[in-house]
Structure 1
Amino acid sequence: MSITQQYMIDSYRAAQHGTPQPPAPGRNEWQVLRELRDRRRFEAVTHEHAAHGRLRLALARFLRAGRAGRAAH
């Protein structure tokens, strides 16, 4: 069953029971991504890690390790 079919079934059930309809698929994706980013930043601060640039630092460490491995050969 596709997402659209599930949405149609949920909408039908909501109409039958007089409850509000569910949001359309994909309607809140950007909001969810922003909230996920904010949550990760919050957890980084509470665990005393850098809140910004963590991905860049991890990538830099990965690239340095790759160069060091190639230099040893």
Structure 2
Amino acid sequence: MDAIQQHMLDTYRAAQLSEPAPPPPGRHDRAVLRDLYRHWLRHPPTRGPRDHSSPSSAPPGPSGV
């Protein structure tokens, strides 16, 4: 089921229960992305402890390299 179908089903259920209709899908996407970007600017990701696995520790591939 895609977002439009889910929205239609939710709207139908809300009408049956005399509740307000839900907002259409994607209505708040821009605001959510803007807030995530602002959060990232204030709290940039930090690098965790170094990962000790390296490509050389991986088993050799089919070519033997």
Query: For the superposition of Structure 1 and Structure 2, which TM-score range results when normalised by the shorter chain?
Result: 0.5 to 0.7
Q: How many residues align?
A: 46
TM-score normalized by structure 2? 0.56
Higher helix share: 1
Q: CA RMSD in A?
A: 2.0
1:37 aligns with 2:12: no
User: Counterpart of 1:3 in structure 2: which amino acid?
Assistant: A
Offset at 1:19?
2.1
Offset at 1:35?
1.0
Q: Which runs of 5+ in 1 are unaligned?
A: 50-73
TM-score normalized by structure 1? 0.51
**Percent identity of paired positions between Structure 1 and Structure 2:** 43
Higher relative contact order (CA 8 A, sep 6+): 2
